[in-house]
């Protein structure tokens, strides 16, 4: 006599059955690939703590974007790695800087690609902070017009999406007004609305050379224990005109992604950051976990938590795995 209790295993017996009952599907179309762009030509300078990632000169970034498009990825997020820095971070709005150059070349090599430009001063300031300093503190209101100027420079180069990651108050409104005033009402803003002061940005700061020379970012990035505050940040940015909001980092903040998803009616983006990527690689190198499975599992977790879009350094290898699965 077979006992009649709940038999969840019936729906897990075969791969076809598991596929039919999948609640969250991954698609390359919902991934954004970050690219680090440096000055020069023909450069692909590997980043040791981020296997597979490199600082690319604008021409090489354009080739890379075409390769990403070929595996089904629809968006890239550009970070600048300038060779010169100053207290104002004026390289951030240089129309001949690596990011505007890369935007123009990517628009030529991969015309369908949605090009997102990160807006922040930390890669361009000699002190490494995300805004200008006044008496040792980051001056919020003095930083706003500089961020708007950087956003305009990227919009003029052809960027589709402006992504401010500085965590200054009021920057979304400032950037929206600047874009509208210059005839770029059609360009979207994805705000890093909920960006925590996290240990997981370590490899990025090494890659972009943006480690603060003094102090840390806790005076402007969010405090990890807080989630109600995350909702205030997200709602304020939507109010100021953000078209999408981001939560960052990803995996340690799944509850925050869920809460933001329920609080706003714009797309929610999760950023699986450099430290999340690096630690999986480090463990896999030691044979302590299966990298491909960890990659799929963590990105699906971000989607399941409520992110419609995921920014991840795994974008390309993940897209390759997904297309292999689709054809098997």
Question: Which residue is catalytic, options 85, 107, 248, 316?
Answer: 248
By the rule CB under 6 A, 122 interacts with ligand PBG? yes
Which residue number places its CB atom closest to ligand PBG?
204
By the rule CB under 6 A, 30 interacts with ligand PBG? no
- CB 278: neighbour CB atoms within 10 A? 22
By the rule CB under 6 A, 120 interacts with ligand PBG? yes
Among 68, 130, 173, 247, binds ligand PBG (CB under 6 A): 130
How many CA atoms, within 13 angstroms, populate the side-chain half-sphere of residue 276?
21
From the centroid of its chain, how far is CA 234? 16
- Residue 248 appears among annotated catalytic residues: yes
Nearer to ligand PBG, 312 or 325 (CB): 312
| Residue 249, preceding peptide bond in cis (omega within 30° of 0) | yes
By the rule CB under 6 A, 140 interacts with ligand PBG? no
By the rule CB under 6 A, 273 interacts with ligand PBG? yes
From the centroid of its chain, how far is CA 288? 27
Spell out the long-range contacts of 177-182 with Cβ–Cβ below 8 A and sequence spacing 24 or more. 177/148, 178/148, 178/149, 178/151, 178/152, 179/151, 179/152, 179/155, 182/152, 182/155, 182/156
Contact 225, 278 (CB under 8 A): no
Q: In terms of Cα–Cα distance, which of 55, 58, 28, 270 is closest to 158?
A: 58
CB of 14 to ligand PBG, least distance (A): 38
- Residue 316 appears among annotated catalytic residues: no
By the rule CB under 6 A, 191 interacts with ligand PBG? no
Q: In terms of Cα–Cα distance, which of 293, 288, 250 is closest to 32?
A: 250
CB of 47 to ligand PBG, least distance (A): 11
By the rule CB under 6 A, 201 interacts with ligand PBG? yes
Q: In terms of Cα–Cα distance, which of 84, 72, 36 is closest to 56?
A: 36
By the rule CB under 6 A, 99 interacts with ligand PBG? no
3-state secondary structure of 246: strand
**Cross-strand bridge partners of residue 247:** 194, 270
Letters for 158-187 (x = contact with ligand PBG by CB under 6 A, - = none) are -------xx---------------------
Nearer to ligand PBG, 93 or 201 (CB): 201
Nearer to ligand PBG, 58 or 203 (CB): 203
By the rule CB under 6 A, 107 interacts with ligand PBG? no
Which positions are annotated as active-site residues? 195, 248
| Residues at the contact surface with ligand PBG, assessed by CB under 6 A | 118, 120, 122, 130, 165-166, 201, 204-205, 210, 273-274
């Amino acid at each position: 006599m077979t006992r009649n209790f709940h038999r969840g295993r019936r729906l897990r017996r075969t791969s076809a059955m598991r596929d039919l009952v999948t609640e969250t599907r991954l698609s390359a179309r919902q991934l954004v690939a970050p690219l680090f762009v440096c000055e020069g030509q023909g450069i692909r300078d590997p980043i040791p703590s981020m296997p597979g990632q490199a600082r690319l000169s604008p021409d090489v970034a354009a080739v890379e974007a075409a390769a990403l498009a070929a595996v089904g990825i629809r968006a890239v997020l550009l970070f600048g790695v300038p060779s010169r820095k100053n207290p104002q971070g004026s390289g951030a709005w240089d129309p001949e800087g690596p990011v505007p150059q890369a935007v123009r070349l990517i628009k030529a090599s991969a015309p369908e690609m949605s090009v997102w430009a990160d807006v922040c001063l930390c890669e361009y300031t000699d002190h490494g902070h995300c805004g200008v300093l006044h008496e040792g503190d980051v001056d919020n209101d003095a930083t706003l017009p500089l961020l708007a100027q950087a956003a305009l420079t990227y919009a003029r180069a052809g960027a589709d999406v402006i992504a401010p990651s500085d965590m200054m108050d009021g920057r979304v409104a400032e950037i929206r007004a600047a874009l509208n005033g210059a005839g770029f009402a059609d360009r979207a803003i994805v705000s890093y609305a909920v960006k925590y002061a996290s240990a997981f940005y370590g490899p990025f700061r090494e890659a972009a050379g943006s480690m603060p020379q003094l102090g840390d970012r806790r005076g402007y990035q969010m405090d990890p224990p807080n989630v109600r505050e995350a909702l205030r940040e997200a709602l304020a940015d939507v109010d100021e005109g953000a078209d999408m909001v981001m939560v960052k980092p990803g995996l340690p903040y799944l509850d925050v992604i869920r809460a933001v998803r329920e609080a706003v009616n714009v797309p929610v983006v999760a950023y699986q950051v450099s430290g999340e990527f690096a630690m999986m690689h480090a463990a896999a190198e030691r044979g302590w976990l299966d990298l491909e499975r960890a990659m799929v599992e963590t990105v699906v977790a971000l989607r399941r938590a409520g992110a419609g879009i995921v920014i991840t350094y795994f974008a390309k290898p993940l897209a390759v795995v997904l297309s292999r699965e689709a054809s098997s």
